[in-house]
Amino acid sequence: MRLLTALLLMFFAASAMAASYQGQGIRMAIPAGYEGPIAMSSTPGGESAAFTKKYPDNVHSSLLQISSLIDSRLSAIPGNMLQTADDTYLKQFLDGIGRRRTQFVIVGQKPVMLAGIKASRAEWTGQAQGQSMSGVMYCVIIGTRILIFHTQDFNDAPPSTRAAAIGAIESVQPDRGG
Please return the burial class of 77, using the count of CB atoms within 10 Å of its CB with bins 0-12, 13-18 and 19+: middle
Question: Domain locations in the chain?
Answer: 20-174
Which amino acid type is present at position 174?
P
CATH architecture of the domain covering 20-174: 3-Layer(aba) Sandwich (3.40)
pTM, two decimal places: 0.85
According to DSSP, the residues that pair with 78 across neighbouring strands are none
Report d(CA 133, CA 153) in Å as an integer: 6
Q: What is the pLDDT of residue 177?
A: 59
Given this model, what pLDDT does residue 18 score?
60
3-class secondary structure, 28: strand
Q: What is the per-residue pLDDT for 58?
A: 76
Residue 174 is predicted with a pLDDT of 86
pLDDT at 46: 87
Instruction: Identify the pLDDT of residue 12.
Output: 33
Peptide bond connecting 78 to the previous residue in cis, omega within 30 degrees of 0: no
pLDDT for the residue 151: 97
Per-residue pLDDT, 30: 96
Residues in the chain predicted with pLDDT less than 50, given as ranges, are 1-17, 178
